[in-house]
Amino acid sequence: MLNVRTLALAAATLGLTAAAFAQTPPPPAQPAPPLPLGPARERGVSVTPAYEGWYQNADGTYSLLVGYFNRNKGEALDIPVGPNNKIEPGPVDQGQPTHFQVGRQWGVFVIKVPKDFGKKMLTWTITANGETQSIPFGITNGYTIEPFQEAGMGNKPPEFTFESGKVFGPPTAVAATLTGAVNQPVAISFKVDDPKETKKGSELTNRRGAGAVATVSFHKFRGPGTVKFEPARVPTKTQGDMVTTNATFSLPGEYLLRVQGNDESGEGGAGFQCCWTNTYVKVTVK
């Protein structure tokens, strides 16, 4: 029998809001949003927020992990923070992306809330191509996740080592700060490892190819112009491989780039919210 989490994950992948499948509806002040019905199209349709789930931090606070689904198969969108891209209540800017690439993007930002957040809810609203979609999310039953280790098989996210240190799991900080010039490539380099502390004989261990480590991909998250990555995806086959891409920017300004690493569990960790890594690189372009 399908549980609430399975239905919610399927909903996010299809562009449906997870709250529609919750056992307990949101409080009256946060009504369930309308379902974005209809198939994905080449362009001209909506972007839907997707709530991945929450986890508790060591200091007792909570982190809410959020992604999105751009249902346009051929149209990436830039939507600045404001009336068409806002989180409420509180500041409309709570770290959400302003660039929405096509398809389902998993766990692209985290909102940290205090330990006494309780039953309160946040709502992310996105208006794209004249269609408005929103989703409420908070510390709700059925949405607990373990992004740093999948308990059943012991899998862990890939690790990136920058000059500033090691990062893994959900995106919580900027891992590197760089500078560059318009139309001049900026090199982004770091080391990649994938902890393999999996149970001997487990399905995950058996699926690992010899020497397989992770696939690293690069994404624009915020910024005024277009960004071209060469290469945009890099498979790593050996622990400790160095990954380098060259990012070229069309306009001056401040950019935030997202760097993602997936092991063999794939995009979204095959629905288990583990084990992949997202982090940010900030680039000032003159």
Same domain, 12 and 129: yes
**pLDDT, tens digit, for every residue of 250-283?**
999 999 999 999 998 888 877 777 889 999 999 9
Same domain, 10 and 115: yes
Point out the domain boundary residue: 138, 172, 203.
Answer: 138
Point out the domain boundary residue: 109, 138, 167.
Answer: 138
Separation between Cα atoms, residue 214 and residue 217, nearest integer Å: 10
Q: Residue 25 has what pLDDT?
A: 41
Q: Are 259 and 175 in contact (CB under 8 A)?
A: yes
Look at residue 234 and tell me if it is in a domain: yes
Separation between Cα atoms, residue 161 and residue 176, nearest integer Å: 10
CATH code of the domain in which 240 resides:
2.60.40.10
Most confidently modeled range among 31-40, 141-150, 190-199, 253-262: 253-262
255 is in which domain, residue-wise? 159-285
Cα separation values, 242 from 178, 184, 219, 281, Å: 18, 22, 18, 16
**pLDDT, tens digit, for every residue of 35-93?**
444 566 667 799 999 999 999 999 999 999 999 999 999 999 999 999 999 999 999 99
**pLDDT, tens digit, for every residue of 147-166?**
998 877 788 999 999 999 99
Buried-exposed string 47-70: b where 16+ CB fall within 10 A, e elsewhere: bbbbbbbbbeeeeeebbbbbbbbb
| pLDDT above 70 for 216 | yes
**pLDDT, tens digit, for every residue of 231-250?**
999 999 899 999 999 999 99
| pLDDT above 50 for 23 | no
Same domain, 68 and 172: no
Look at residue 152 and tell me if it is in a domain: no
Look at residue 149 and tell me if it is in a domain: no
Separation between Cα atoms, residue 243 and residue 241, nearest integer Å: 6
Look at residue 237 and tell me if it is in a domain: yes
Look at residue 129 and tell me if it is in a domain: yes
| pLDDT above 80 for 34 | no
Q: Residue 31 has what pLDDT?
A: 35
Please state the domain count of the chain.
2
